[in-house]
Structure 1
Amino acid sequence: MTRFLGRLGGWCARHGRIVLALWVVAAGALMGGSLVFGSPVSNDVTIPGTDAQRAHDLMKTGFGPGYGSGGTVQLLLYSADGPLIDERRKRAVEDALDRLRAMPHVVRVDGPFRRGGISSNLQIGLIGIRMRGHDGGKLAEITSALSKAADPARAAGIEVVAAGSASPADKELKTGPSEIIGVACALLVLVFAFGTLVAAMVPIFTALVSVASGLGVIGLLGHVMDVPKQAGIMATMIGLGVGIDYALFLLSRHRRLLADGVPVVESVRRTVASSGGAVVFAGGTVIIALSALMLGGFPLLRTLGWITGISVVAAVLTSITLVPALLGLLGHRVNALKVPFLRGGGSSGTGWAGLGSWVARRPWRVLAASVLVLAAVAAPALALKLGPLDNGYGAQGSESRRAYELMATGFGPGANGPLIVVAELPSRVADQGDPVVDQVVREVEHVDGVAHVATPEVNTSGRSVLLQVVTDYAPSDARAAGVVAEIRAVSLPGVGVHVGGEVAALTDAGDRMAERTPLVIAVVVVLSALLLLLAFRAPIVAVKAAVMNLISLGAAFGTLALVFSTGLGSRLVGMDPPVSSSYVQTLFFSVPIESYVPLMLFAVLFGLSMDYEVFLLTAVRQAYQRHGDNARAVAEGLGSTGRVITSAALIMVAVFVAFIAYPDPMVKTFGVGLAAAIAVDATLIRGFLVPATMVLLGRLNWWCPRWLDRLLPNLSVEGEEDEHDAAPEPERQLVGA
């Protein structure tokens, strides 16, 4: 593989203008196409085989508009100056209802002046709008138009707010200032790392081209398949991080070779042949980890995993083609525009080498101390609180948060996430007054936690009855899931009771993922270990690397629990407490973490952590193969990679921390978890734990049974081509620096 990558890198360096033009045209065409033709997104949360899915399927069969393939939009009305039934206000509301009934695709409008449509104080009302034949991908635009149609009510002094039925994690996520902040922070780190503006701009430009290409592909894929709304933001986060990091690794190697007097094209060839192989293997581990989400049993998560992997593929491709092209075009000008007082990449890494030597002299003590610190960081993970996020955790002042609070005040917290109960009947019934229907209603009403059961609806076949059930609990309250279980436990002769709706679907999703999590973890760990085994032909190193990555995951989950589950940092990351909270609750209020987030974080972090493992191990192996002294090899490997890995980690952390400012709670949880894990991984784990264990293992690090050695294909991550080529001295100076 190294020979192929070397030839590819050399060709790109010699034909830089062609490669650069092709990438710019490709990125522009893909992004332009997604902008011109649109980037359809979906929030298909179907979970085959679950009770909530069965209820949803039954909803489609003859229950009229607004169920199944239709849609429902709700508008909240609030009159601060008096009751809605005041003659002037009532007339204005009725004018708004007439305008709503005339809107396209609207087939039924239920006004507030009905049973259950107005609060007990007569100041909060609810308009229900049922639709059919509309474009589900444009629900936000349709809702905005419907809200605008209610302007007659606003003219009468009534507040009109559109209620979103989805959770904050379901909202369409659009790019914004977080990406700009992340790129700016990364540029600052690169300037300090390299000391020149030109060198700092190479990884930034490469990453932007990579992200643009990936987002363009993802946007166009939305026309032929369901693309989750979260895909764009996740691809941007991961694509920026790995795109800048991979280019950084290559650029650092290239500049050191140039400093040793190697000609430009030859330096690029060697760089791509060596560090390019590490990039390919590192990217492969990220893609493997994301692809394993296909086993999670949740279609949304499965699609989100492999689509996010597109950004990683783009990052790898730009790193081994566009970066060499830019380096070939720039030549020695890559070191132009030096920043005063910054030495940049010219340091020899003696500080990190000194740390490696210090660890090598006391491995047992370093190992014990590292384990204790990491255990303390991971311990809070035991308190991790999983659950659905409702609009009560949205940004203070947002329309969805305001609608949530009005709904809870006027109709109870459970009205923000009603349950849809569909009962299959043993025989056909004529109408909702049938004794069997009455019996179903009574049984559901007697379930603890049920606040209200709406008038039942019987489908056209007379074989199913639908009940809208409001519980005493908000959708994010764990007790709401208990009510779901109690209703499902209702037993009547010949009647099958199924519960759907947001709360039931998220409960089933959590149960399904909890069931599949061990399988996903096992597959990711085994496949990643196998990839490392192919790369290094060292089974102990491969297994140890997988274990080290699991440790960094513990740090991520511990940090998430501290910030969100215990509430110690929820306000620091911009989460707003409920309006009704006490003073103490506003200081420390817990926020549930969506049930799919830990599994997604596991896949992403396992892959990203493996990047640093690959780069450190390749440097240690090169040094060990040169002189055979294990402790010295560990020190030299840490010395030659410490500065680069630290810079790469700082960039990753900067990018992920920038996304914490994003208003969406789901993005905040990912930002906190990813930043914490990368910071711990690049410092405690790669700086202390990994070197200590490698020193203690000695020659066992690179031991491989002869039978296994014969079976493994002859692959190389880094450096084999250079070992057979002329001028080996610069390589010795580079690795041993």
Structure 2
Amino acid sequence: MAKWLYSIGERVYLHKFKTLIASVMALLVAAALMLGLGASFTGELSIPGTKSEQAMKVLNEQFPSPESSAKGSIQMVFKAPEGKTLESETVRSAILETLETLTQDVAVDSVVSPYDNYSLSENKEIGYATIGYKLEASKVTEASLEKVKAAAEQARAAGLQAEYSGNTGSPIPEIGGVSEVVGIVVAFLILAYTFGSFLMAGLPILTAVVGLVIGILLVLIGTNVMEMTSISITLAVMLGLAVGIDYALFIISRHRQNLADGKSIRQSIALANATAGSSVLFAGLTVIIALLGLAVVRIPFLTTMGIAAAITVAVAIAVAVVLVPAVLAIVGEKARPKLQSNGAEKKKRVRSSNAWGKVVVKYPLPMAVAAILLLLFISLPALKLETGLPDNGLKSEQKTERRAYDLLAEAYGPGYHAPLVIVARASEDANGSDSSATVRNAVSELDKIENVASVSEPVFNEAGNTAIVNLLPGTGPHDSRTKELVQDIRDYATSAGKSGAVELMVTGTTAVNIDISDKLNAALPQFALLIVGLAIVLLGIVFRSVWIPIKAVLGYLLTLTATLGFIVFVVQEGHLASLFGIPEPGPVLSFLPVLTAGILFGLAMDYEVFLVSRMREEYSRTGDGRTAVLAGMKNSGGVVTAAGLIMVVVFASFIFVEDTMIKSMGLALAFGILVNAFIVRMTLVPAVMALMPRLAWYFPRWLDRITPKVDVEGETIHHEAHDDERVA
């Protein structure tokens, strides 16, 4: 691998401008294809095969809907002024006048007032109107939404409280917003400090942005051949930008080290590509494998999220080993660090031996114990992990969607937002009046189950053998008692179905979300076991060691549990919530644990490879384990620190966006990288390796013979270079 990348580095140096032009052409071709094909995202987060999905399939078969559920709709909720009701003459007149203005929008198909849909609450103080659009939800224009906003303001001016929520708006998230810009600016400042040069600081940013644009264009094109959720594009942006900057940073840093050692531009670029480029390629492939490994849990939307992110990571790798060397060749001597006097240079070399590395190596046992205890303490809240999907009830009270949510809960109870749909199907043996009577008898017992607020009358299909019943819980969608109710209904369905006369199934948004969370939670141990095994195999091959992979896996597991513990502490329990802009404590995003497990594995292996490969390089040369640890901390510690800070900043910049899912993902990944880079890789790893300086590199001979050799440190290149020097 190192020889191959060395050759690429040399060829790119010789054809630097052609490489640059080819990169620009690749971007333009991708842009043209995307403009021609367009993008098509879906907002569905579903898992085929769950009980609720099976029930939904029966529901759609027996009660086919003549209209597309994709049409846009908005629910406008009204609350009467104090001392009045919605039936008061002045209030009624104000509501009808407000709704009349909406009928003038040519995009509106229908407006149903609270008086026509019989939605007035028991005390007549709250009710809602439904605005239906002729267009699909994603195609309802901003102008139409502004008219809804104006109508709500008109009702408020008349003394009513008017709030609204709906399914309108584009499912494609905004790309290139403030969060990404903030992340890039802070990353630039970190790079400027690291390199001591604004020019060199701009190169990783430039190449990463080029790679990100190409990657995102490819993802958008990919939406035409596979169903992909809109959240996938945000994850792809997060990872593509973060690894793009980091991978370029590693190669440029190694190039500058080579230049400082007196090598020529051509030789330095080729050698940096062979050494740092090998680590980038291996680490990047590990990230891609981890992302594609999400497919093993057999959850479609999670699989496509992994594919989207893997595409941007793959482009980041290609840019790092092809475009970055070309840019370095064009920059030429400007990349060479400024020479200092011999005395200053000697003094600098003494200082650069890494003070933190010396402390860790001097006190390895206390440092290792302290790091492990700290991570275990942070992990404790993870024992109380509860997962779910966000809704308007978790938004800020400053949002009209949240206020509409609260009004509806006040009017009809918290269970209004957690409706359950019961599908009751008689057996094939029953027919006519017998089948309907059997179904009625089965559903008549539902209201006796604990936490059931109301049960509607059954509505039968044309054949009379299948009915749907709407059931409202006494608790909201995020209450654990609602989940218990779903299980109680299924237990009742099991007992009712023993006779074989009727089958009861539970579906609806709440049941679907509960099933998704349960399936994802069950998949986490399976997925974690897979990637742990993968890490042991890959790191064993790279470092020719038994204990380094085991140590790396334990560090990864501590990183994962600490990250989940922190997320539970902040998101679920609400501690420090205001600091991170989290308006309301609630369950952790259902797919966040599995997603975090995969992404952190890939990124954790990045830092493991970059740091330990330099240690192995020194150990191969000297055979001294403690010296190898110090050398690794000296040569790679600063770069890993800068890379970790950049990745934390990029992920953290997404914490302050409005979308709850994106906020949770940004917070989890930022904290995970912070823990992994600074507590695990920069403290725990060198401390453990200092405790067993020779044992850490133990590899049985029989295992060495059957294990394929992968050169990620560029040993073959170094040996050839030394041989050439001796011949000369």
TM superposition score normalised by structure 2: 0.89
Change (3 A) 1:392 1:724: same
Any idea what SS the aligned residue of 1:163 has? strand
1:141 paired residue number: 140
1:572 paired residue number: 579
TM-superposition CA deviations, 1:195-224 (whole Å, max 9, x none): 111100011011111111111111111122
Change (3 A) 1:712 1:102: farther
Change (3 A) 1:147 1:654: closer
C-alpha distance in 2 between matches for 1:80 and 1:5: 72
- For residue 601 of structure 2, the aligned residue among 596, 601, 606 is 606
1:20 paired residue number: 20
C-alpha distance in 2 between matches for 1:47 and 1:185: 39
2:549 paired residue number: 542
Q: Does 1:420 align with 2:421?
A: yes
2:326 paired residue number: 325
Confirm or deny: 8 A CA contact 1:238 1:311 kept in the other structure.
Answer: yes
One-letter code aligned to 1:466: I
2:538 paired residue number: 531
C-alpha distance in 2 between matches for 1:67 and 1:449: 33
RMSD (Å) for aligned C-alpha atoms: 3.3
TM-superposition CA deviations, 1:139-188 (whole Å, max 9, x none): 4627984884797787564665443479x9x9753232111111111011
2:408 paired residue number: 407
C-alpha distance in 2 between matches for 1:416 and 1:337: 65
Shift of 1:41: 0.9
The range that moved more, 225-234 or 493-502, is 493-502
The range that moved more, 711-720 or 378-387, is 378-387
Shift of 1:649: 0.7
1:474 paired residue number: 476
1:619 paired residue number: 614
C-alpha distance in 2 between matches for 1:322 and 1:188: 22
TM-superposition CA deviations, 1:484-519 (whole Å, max 9, x none): 112222343522111112211111112212222222
C-alpha distance in 2 between matches for 1:299 and 1:446: 37
Change (3 A) 1:236 1:431: farther
C-alpha distance in 1 between matches for 2:270 and 2:124: 76
1:287 paired residue number: 288
Confirm or deny: 8 A CA contact 1:443 1:490 kept in the other structure.
Answer: no
Change (3 A) 1:429 1:114: farther
- For residue 586 of structure 2, the aligned residue among 588, 591, 594 is 591
The range that moved more, 66-75 or 595-604, is 66-75
Q: Does 1:306 align with 2:329?
A: no
Shift of 1:471: 1.6
Confirm or deny: 8 A CA contact 1:7 1:269 kept in the other structure.
Answer: yes
- For residue 647 of structure 1, the aligned residue among 626, 639, 642 is 642
One-letter code aligned to 2:692: L
Change (3 A) 1:151 1:58: farther
One-letter code aligned to 1:331: G
C-alpha distance in 2 between matches for 1:417 and 1:434: 27
One-letter code aligned to 1:470: L
One-letter code aligned to 1:141: V
Confirm or deny: 8 A CA contact 1:60 1:67 kept in the other structure.
Answer: no
Confirm or deny: 8 A CA contact 1:51 1:508 kept in the other structure.
Answer: yes
- For residue 665 of structure 1, the aligned residue among 660, 675, 688 is 660
C-alpha distance in 2 between matches for 1:658 and 1:228: 21
Confirm or deny: 8 A CA contact 2:259 2:336 kept in the other structure.
Answer: no
The range that moved more, 234-243 or 37-46, is 37-46
Change (3 A) 1:535 1:152: closer
One-letter code aligned to 2:249: L
1:387 paired residue number: 388
One-letter code aligned to 1:726: A
Shift of 1:378: 2.2
Change (3 A) 1:461 1:88: farther
Q: Does 1:450 align with 2:449?
A: no
C-alpha distance in 2 between matches for 1:379 and 1:474: 27
Shift of 1:545: 1.5
Any idea what SS the aligned residue of 1:392 has? helix
C-alpha distance in 2 between matches for 1:462 and 1:106: 35
Q: Does 1:76 align with 2:71?
A: no
TM-superposition CA deviations, 1:441-493 (whole Å, max 9, x none): 42222222222233432223322211222222221222211121122223435
Shift of 1:374: 2.3
Shift of 1:598: 0.8
C-alpha distance in 1 between matches for 2:601 and 2:300: 21
One-letter code aligned to 1:245: D
The range that moved more, 269-278 or 119-128, is 119-128
Any idea what SS the aligned residue of 1:61 has? helix
1:56 paired residue number: 56
The range that moved more, 295-304 or 62-71, is 62-71
Shift of 1:552: 1.5
C-alpha distance in 1 between matches for 2:433 and 2:90: 38
The range that moved more, 688-697 or 185-194, is 688-697
Q: Does 1:112 align with 2:114?
A: yes
One-letter code aligned to 2:49: G
- For residue 635 of structure 1, the aligned residue among 630, 636, 656 is 630
One-letter code aligned to 1:118: L
Confirm or deny: 8 A CA contact 2:265 2:333 kept in the other structure.
Answer: yes
Confirm or deny: 8 A CA contact 1:536 1:716 kept in the other structure.
Answer: no
C-alpha distance in 1 between matches for 2:245 and 2:212: 10
1:520 paired residue number: 527
Confirm or deny: 8 A CA contact 1:383 1:565 kept in the other structure.
Answer: no
Confirm or deny: 8 A CA contact 1:43 1:300 kept in the other structure.
Answer: no
Any idea what SS the aligned residue of 1:602 has? helix
Change (3 A) 1:720 1:104: farther
- For residue 563 of structure 2, the aligned residue among 537, 542, 556 is 556
Shift of 1:64: 4.8
Confirm or deny: 8 A CA contact 2:421 2:471 kept in the other structure.
Answer: yes
One-letter code aligned to 1:529: I
Return 5+ residue gaps in structure 1 as ranges: 578-589, 731-737
C-alpha distance in 1 between matches for 2:215 and 2:180: 15
The range that moved more, 539-548 or 237-246, is 539-548
Equivalent positions of 1:214-229 (< 5 A) are 214-229=215-230
- For residue 492 of structure 2, the aligned residue among 490, 498, 520 is 490
Confirm or deny: 8 A CA contact 1:420 1:466 kept in the other structure.
Answer: yes
Any idea what SS the aligned residue of 1:726 has? helix
C-alpha distance in 2 between matches for 1:349 and 1:679: 28
C-alpha distance in 2 between matches for 1:509 and 1:204: 38
One-letter code aligned to 1:447: I
- For residue 511 of structure 1, the aligned residue among 495, 500, 518 is 518
C-alpha distance in 2 between matches for 1:595 and 1:376: 23
1:587 paired residue number: none
TM-superposition CA deviations, 1:22-53 (whole Å, max 9, x none): 22232244245435643211123332221110
Any idea what SS the aligned residue of 1:489 has? helix
Change (3 A) 1:704 1:337: closer
C-alpha distance in 1 between matches for 2:278 and 2:65: 57
TM-superposition CA deviations, 1:250-278 (whole Å, max 9, x none): 11010111122211111100000110000
Any idea what SS the aligned residue of 2:566 has? helix
C-alpha distance in 1 between matches for 2:21 and 2:222: 24
Confirm or deny: 8 A CA contact 1:273 1:721 kept in the other structure.
Answer: no
Shift of 1:633: 0.9
Confirm or deny: 8 A CA contact 1:16 1:328 kept in the other structure.
Answer: yes
Shift of 1:321: 0.7
The range that moved more, 223-232 or 563-572, is 563-572
Confirm or deny: 8 A CA contact 2:43 2:230 kept in the other structure.
Answer: yes
Change (3 A) 1:399 1:115: closer
TM superposition score normalised by structure 1: 0.88
C-alpha distance in 1 between matches for 2:196 and 2:258: 17
Any idea what SS the aligned residue of 1:424 has? strand
Change (3 A) 1:360 1:112: same
